Chain A
Amino acid sequence: MSDFLAAQDSAGHEHAQPRSDQNRSLWGDVRYELMRNPVFWVSSVLVLVILSMAFAPQLWAETSPTARGACRLENARVEPSAAHPFGYTNAGCDMWSSLVYGTGKSVIVAILVTIGTVIVGVTLGTVAGYVGGFADTVISRVTDIFFGLPFILGALVFLAIFPDRNVWTLTAVLTMFGWTSLTRVMRGSVISTKQKDYVDAARALGATNFFIIRKHILANSIAPVIVLATIGLGAYISAEATLTFLGVGYQRPTVSWGLLVAEGQNLALAGFWHLLVLPCAFIVVTVLSFILLGDALRDALDPRAR
């Protein structure tokens, strides 16, 4: 019997051989897979750059646009030149430093909202999908109600109530309207995983529900949530921009990409293209990096994709 297995060896999976000596786990393999994936490297370098801009903007630009004397009206809307490749904003601030210092406000909100919605969505979706019955009925109906509320309009109404809008209020409101789709996706994913025979096999072994959720359900249900969450992250960056543009997001003198887009939107057609294109480019690159990172992570989590 073992000779045919050996034959299978040479035919099939040589690449698995060198690594088969130590005990490996899924996470070890995920790391190994990620390390070999160029998409992961590109996207994670970009994400690191963006995060460092968000948390330590002084590394990337000398003066904050909010510092005294940083902006001069005579520089307003000056187009990019060799000395200032990003030009100046409408208020006469350096565009590069505005973008760098605006990263924090935009990206931190998006990351916080993504983390918040994933926690809420995965928890509620897992409970609804795995426990089922009454818990499912309650969670699903509440999800339906929130799903029915229009996202931007709902956020607009809630934010208008707060006189002082900062990172936390924006995060809270966006999370409140953003968790529903993740919950739905997670619930559906958990239900289909729950029906797999390996879950029955684990139950037959006497595994507790907590054990089954931890070992089988989460790992096998999370992939669509990761994809949706990384797309969501981009959407929240744009949502911040939209709300700011509508006047219920950040307020001046805060700098954020949303504010820059809102400003540039009026002036782009008047010939000042850089006021719109540059902040938009930052948003696009950021969103793309997170989506690519999510894709790489999802592929690494699926041994069948290897």
Chain B
Amino acid sequence: MSEILTETERRSNKSPLSGVSFDGSAPLLEVEDLEVEFHTRDGIAHAVNNVSFTLREGETLGILGESGCGKSVTAQAIMGILDTPPAKVTGGQVRYRGVDLLQLEEKTRRHIRANKIAIIFQDALSSLNPVFTVGWQLGELYRKHAGASRAQAKSKAVELLDLVGIPGAPARINSFPHQFSGGMRQRVMIAMALALEPDIIIADEPTTALDVTVQAQVMTLLSDLQREMRLGLILITHDMGVVADVADKICVMYAGHAVERADVYEIYERPAHPYTKALLESIPRVDQKGQDLTVIKGLPPALVDPPPGCSFHPRCAFARDRCTTDEPPLYEVPGNRLSACHYWEEVLES
């Protein structure tokens, strides 16, 4: 049914993008002052507050944060797949090649979602439809969005599974999702994301559910493909090790705020925000023994009732009186970095 609809859509109106003019010189993706609220029983949760970042071709941006920090909500807001209600994008812009996606019609957005920006989720098993074969699900993308024939779609599906390193692809396209191992399923997800040759891939905790050797396989694949196809990759994770291996830039999120943005080398060497610093000191490293783990006291705040001033101040070792009243802006830190801490200089020097 939907197939037929899309087909007619495609014929009647040459392209859903006809009224939209992309600016090839503009950055691939610019998120500016994005704000998302959730209306819950307990009140309004400010899940994303004034989050901004830029992604260029061939660049990997790591969004780092704990559960509930708003990193997944940011991804869903970019994709336009938030459940509204309860969620609501209340401000900001998401510009793809200079065009604000938030202002586009749903039809156009759907087209961009399919062809330009793709997303990979943590749980591949629930993201794939259990009653169709993997080949059918891959082929459907071509039939639906590119109008390919059944045979074309099938050969494309084989090609894709081959590309993501699934052995025996011609035979495996007839398998159902549950017949694949976790790592192989995540490869299928990557194949589906790549199917329509997007410019941007958003990977939301793509390896969290996987074993460490499989995680290494999948991350290697993802970063190889990203490099070859010059994709813009947004890698959302809580794992400081995974992003350190692949990201070019890092955006650290805490309680819905982007608290620090910097180049990957600088942020790990000299964090400019107390939260980043504390996180780095709180995780054990496999190549070191005997380091003391610094405990970050307390818990992330409830988003319906964030503390006044800086939302990290109740847990912060650098906090002063000012932090309890003044919400810190994003200060410019030398080296083209940003930090939302009044005392970033102290943090840098400590």
Chain A residues within 8 Å of B, Cβ to Cβ: 1, 3-4, 7-8, 11-12
Q: Given A4-B299, A11-B305, A12-B302, list of 12 further CB < 8 A pairs?
A: A1-B297, A3-B297, A4-B297, A4-B298, A4-B314, A4-B315, A7-B298, A7-B314, A8-B298, A8-B299, A11-B301, A11-B302
Q: Mark B294-311, 1 if CB is under 8 A from A, else 0.
A: 000111011001000000
Roughly how many angstroms separate A171 CA and B299 CA in the complex, as a whole number?
57
- The majority secondary structure among interface residues of chain A is helix
For the complex formed, measure the closest distance between the CB of A1 and the CB atoms of chain B, giving whole angstroms: 7
Chain B residues whose C-beta falls within 8 Å of the C-beta of A3 in the assembled complex? 297
Alpha-carbon distance between A7 and B298 when the two chains are bound, in angstroms? 9
CB-defined interface of B268-306 with A at 8 Å, one 1/0 digit per residue? Answer: 000000000000000000000000000001110110010
Chain A residues whose C-beta falls within 8 Å of the C-beta of B299 in the assembled complex: 4, 8
Please name all residues of chain B whose beta carbon is closer than 8 Å to the beta carbon of A1 when the two chains form the complex.
Answer: 297
> How many A-B contacts are there with CB distance less than 8 Å?
15
In the bound assembly, the distance between CA atoms of A57 and B58 in angstroms comes to 84
15 A/B residue pairs, CB under 8 Å, sorted by A: A1-B297, A3-B297, A4-B297, A4-B298, A4-B299, A4-B314, A4-B315, A7-B298, A7-B314, A8-B298, A8-B299, A11-B301, A11-B302, A11-B305, A12-B302
Q: Compute how far the CA of A79 lies from the CA of B39 in the bound complex, rounded to whole angstroms.
A: 54
Binding site for A on B (CB under 8 A): 297-299, 301-302, 305, 314-315
Identity of the chain A residue whose Cβ is nearest the Cβ of B314 in the assembled complex: A7
Chain B residues contacting A4 (CB-CB under 8 Å) are 297-299, 314-315
Q: Which residue of A lies closest to B315 (CB)?
A: A4
CA of A12 to CA of B305, assembled, Å: 10
Whole-angstrom CA separation of A188 from B119 in the bound complex: 36
Report the nearest B residue to A1, measured CB to CB: B297
- The residues of B that contact A8 with a CB separation of less than 8 Å are 298-299
Bound form: Cα–Cα A1–B298 in Å: 8
Interface centre among B298, B302, B315 (most CB of A within 10 A): B298
Q: How far apart sit A186 and B314, CA to CA, in the bound complex (Å)?
A: 47
Report the bound CA distance from A3 to B315 in whole Å. Answer: 11
Instruction: List chain A residues, Cβ under 8 A from B305.
Output: 11
Q: Which residues of B sit under 8 angstroms from A7, Cβ to Cβ? A: 298, 314
Q: How far, in whole Å, are A8 and B298 apart by their CA atoms in the complex?
A: 9
Instruction: Give Cα distance in the complex from A3 to B301, angstroms.
Output: 15
- B305 closest partner in A (C-beta): A11
Closest B residue to A8 by beta carbon equals: B299
Cα A12 to Cα B302 with chains together (Å): 9
Give the docked Cα–Cα distance between A12 and B315 (Å): 17
Cβ-closest 5 pairs across A and B: A4-B298, A4-B297, A7-B314, A11-B305, A11-B302
Q: How many angstroms between the C-alpha atoms of A4 and B313 in the bound complex?
A: 12
Contacts of B298 in A (CB 8 A): 4, 7-8
Give Cα A1–Cα B297 distance, bound, in whole angstroms: 7
Cα A279 to Cα B119 in complex, Å, equals: 60
Cα A115 to Cα B297 with chains together (Å): 52
Chain A residues with CB under 8 Å of B301's CB are 11
Give Cα A193 to B298, complex, Å: 32
In the bound complex, CA of A8 to CA of B301 (Å): 9
Q: In the assembled complex, which residues on chain B have CB atoms less than 8 Å from the CB atom of A12?
A: 302
Nearest-Cβ distance from residue A84 to partner chain B, whole angstroms: 49
Q: Which residue of B lies closest to A5 (CB)?
A: B298
Expressed in whole angstroms, the Cα–Cα distance for A4 and B298 within the complex equals 5
The residues of A that contact B314 with a CB separation of less than 8 Å are: 4, 7
Expressed in whole angstroms, the minimum distance between the Cβ of B293 and any Cβ of chain A is: 15
Residue of A nearest to B298 (CB): A4
The answer for the CA separation of A8 and B305 in the assembled complex, in Å, is 12
Q: How far is the CA of A11 from the CA of B305 in the complex (A)?
A: 8
In the assembled complex, the Cα of A3 lies from the Cα of B305 at a distance in Å of: 19
Instruction: Compute how far the CA of A12 lies from the CA of B298 in the bound complex, rounded to whole angstroms.
Output: 14
B343 to chain A, nearest CB (A): 21
Q: How far is the CA of A4 from the CA of B305 in the complex (A)?
A: 16
* Residue numbers in A under 8 Å from B315 (CB-CB): 4
B295 to chain A, nearest CB (A): 9
CB distance from B63 to the nearest CB of A (A): 26
Find the B residue at minimum CB distance from A12: B302
A4 to B315, CA, bound (A): 9
Rounded to whole Å, the gap between the CB of B199 and the closest CB of chain A is 43
Give the distance to chain B from A13, nearest Cβ to Cβ, in Å: 12
Taking the closest CB of chain A, its distance from the CB of B315, in whole angstroms, is 8
Query: Bound state CA distance, A1 and B315, in angstroms?
Result: 11
User: What's the nearest-Cβ distance from chain B to residue A9, in Å?
Assistant: 12
| CB proximity of B319 to chain A, nearest CB, Å | 13
The smallest C-beta distance from B267 to any residue of chain A, in angstroms, reads 26
Q: How far is the CA of A4 from the CA of B316 in the complex (A)?
A: 12
Instruction: Output the nearest chain A residue to B301 by Cβ-Cβ distance.
Output: A11
A3, A7, A8, A12: which has the most chain B beta carbons within 10 Å? A7
- Within the complex, the shortest CB–CB distance from A258 to chain B, in Å, comes to 43
Q: How far is the CB of A6 from chain B (nearest CB, A)?
A: 11
Instruction: Tell me the minimal C-beta distance from B133 to chain A in angstroms.
Output: 30
Kindly state the separation between the CA atoms of A7 and B297 in the bound complex, as whole angstroms: 11
Q: How far is the CB of B77 from chain A (nearest CB, A)?
A: 27
Q: Considering the chains assembled together, what is the distance between the CA atoms of A177 and B308 in angstroms?
A: 62
Q: How far is the CB of B104 from chain A (nearest CB, A)?
A: 40
